Structure 1
Amino acid sequence: MTNRIVVCLMLLAFFLPAAHAQVTGDSEPEIQVQDVPRDQAIEQRLTAVMAAIDGLEDIGVTVQAGVVTLAGEVSSARSARELIAIAQRVEGVVFVQNRLVENVNVPARLQPARQKIQELSATVIRGLPLMLIALGLVVVFALLGRWASHRAGWLQHLGFSELATHLGKRVIRLIITTVGILLALEILDATALVGALLGVAGIVGIAVGFAFRNIVENYLAGVLLSARNPFSIGDIVKMGEFTGSVVRLTSRDTVLMTAEGNHLRIPNSMIMTSPLTNFTRNPLRRFDFLVGVSVDFDPAIARRLGAATLREMDGVLSDPDPMGVIDALGDSTVQLRFFGWIDQRNSDFLKARSEAIRLVKAAFDEAGIEMPEPIYRIQMREQPSAPAQAPGAGKSSASYEPVDVAADDTIGKQVADELRISDEENLLKRG
């Protein structure tokens, strides 16, 4: 028993020191630091950096155990932040203490601005010759663009309208002037500015396009209208629901004079997208009207009589020949439609149509052709006796008394007066 106890004690004495050494060695390894910068080297390095920067020569630098202390006056808080950032980048610096004070002295605060102004002045003086050359180049190209725009009459020889020619002149002048500006910027080595200007111009162009979209549409429509020339001054036209005589075409709208003598302005873009009827471009114009006759009467006879009446009427052309057709068959009437042609240079459309209706009715009355009322209408009245025939009734020639159907130039005179007294632009010429 005693021998066993002795053996156990010997084993414990052998293994305990090794185990203790292993535990302590693994949990607390030795830290070795090599090539650690000295405080003096850090201080010398930062002092040299401060001396190399203008305005920081008086900044004090002290280093102790890797802790840098900066003291002195700086021009602004930004300068203080920059100094701290520089010190933190030096090898071996553990921490930076800020003892810097911002200088609020007015002359000291203005010193950087004065330096920048002096530097800018020196730069301008050095680059003055190039600036003068660039300015002269812009002026030369501007004058060249102006001269070229005044010599752009060849656009009219190519068939361009007055408005399109005017727009072309502006475009030519703008292109030449822009080339001069780009060359001047290239001389000044401001190519980055060119890209910035082009970007700004693109953004501004998009914004202006959205803001003035209607104005641009009307202007372009005016260019197309002046090029296509769908109407002339004095033409009677119908644009959508509006009818009138053309007074002028401007770069934004078209001015009509209505039958009531009012000025009507229609945007050019609306004219480009609306149906347009020109009643004056072709001097020949056809009128028509309906006449109802009794179902008991032969409509062929009434049709021939009405056409013959129109042939004898003043102002109605014989070629094309007037004619009548059976238009519809109703319960109590047969609808006849009569057509006649006039020359608008000699006859007025409304007057001629009105006179044609009157003469056809008179001819039907003389021929005893009844034009009945609708069957659902009842009239209760006593027919007066006819002691004597009224003047002009019956088959007298009063029914065919000539009526003035000459062309009415009332609106034409008003249009001429408007053109004479107004100095507004007009892209049209008299037709």
Structure 2
Amino acid sequence: MADRYLHLTGTAPGRFLTRRLGLPQPAPLRRWTLETPHLEGPLLHLTAGASAVAGVAESLRAPGLTVTDRADLAARPAAIVLDATGVASAVGLGDVHAALHPVVRSLAPGGRIVVLGTVPSPDDHHQAAAQQALEGFVRSLGKEIGRGSTVQLVRVPAGATADAAESTLRFLLSPRSAYVSGQVIELTAAAPDPVADPAAPLAGRTALVTGAARGIGAAVASVLARDGAQVIALDVPGAREELERTADRLGATALPLDITAPDAADRIAAAAPDGLGILVHNAGITRDRRLANMPADRWASVVEVNLDSVLRTTDELLKAGAITRGGRIVATASIAGIAGNTGQTNYAASKAGIIGLVRSLGPRAAADHGVTVNAVAPGFIETKMTAAVPFFIREAGRRMNSLSQGGLPVDVAEAVAWFAQPGSTAVNGQVLRVCGQSLLGA
């Protein structure tokens, strides 16, 4: 559905009127296209104190960006990366201010700021305080940066080499992360798997996407296919016609199947006899009603589809070895599972359960099966479902984030594709909010 307010603020009269009224000023976001696949321009690499991670500059190999450490640039930087991994005291935070204060206004519209930190230490409360302070700094800067720009914090653990962060930096320093801001990503020290073809990083991998007939699921299937994966698109038999249209468009395989069926895992495994490299749990339903008015069947159906089927099929596929080593599991949570939502106790519980699944299973799946487990948590995404929301509630959903606009299904899909890449081995047990830094929740 068209965002008429966003269009209005792109006109001279609209800008004048909204500024006078103190209304949000959303900037059109630059997303990935074939014609403009990269950010273009200087990438300003700064350091606050001494770096605690070797080789950071070498990991900043984002296409389209030219790395420089010169702050007196004639051209506006398209991105700024601040290495704050060595900040270990309250006094050291002054170096963060000193590095970014002179250059933050020079960032080009739609630019990127990434702060590199490290994991707060349980054994050094001064270091822990300083590194945790970076989270508050980044979330606040994300809310004030404006002009379609984004700000993130990436924590690189002690002992990790900078190449563990390369996939993450490529994603965050690109148009693919247009609707991700104010996020904290904590990496492991795992070395990335090799990528044979950067233009098709998922080539040779089979990906199964549930709920793929329409909306976010169809967008995920499309982006994974674009990146080279052979896609199996799964949805309920009642959506067969739409599912087959989506599969035909992508050269994918349609699998009409109720994910809650007792034999769902067996049928998924049979559809991918050589094993799954990527499993995306996207299927989900809502049955909204306040708890006092919610019958047991409305509660049970949401938990069954959104959480229990995910737990069951994941367990069975891992036990059967149907997900290959180096594989990726990506589940769909929601900001409702983080912040809660009136009339959605069942939905919020199921999506919070996904977060618990990811955080618990991620480390064990990596150790036992060589598989990473992550989740996306979408905010207000422009779909047929949100188009049916009453006007004022829809407008509030669109504007109540740092980018002052709704996201698109492709924004969630790009995040899933990043999790799915071979180079993202160090990204595990993470929940990434794709919400434009929503004002709801953490």
CA radius of gyration, larger in: 1
TM-score (norm 1): 0.18
Higher relative contact order (CA 8 A, sep 6+): 2
What TM-score comes out, normalization by structure 2 length?
0.18
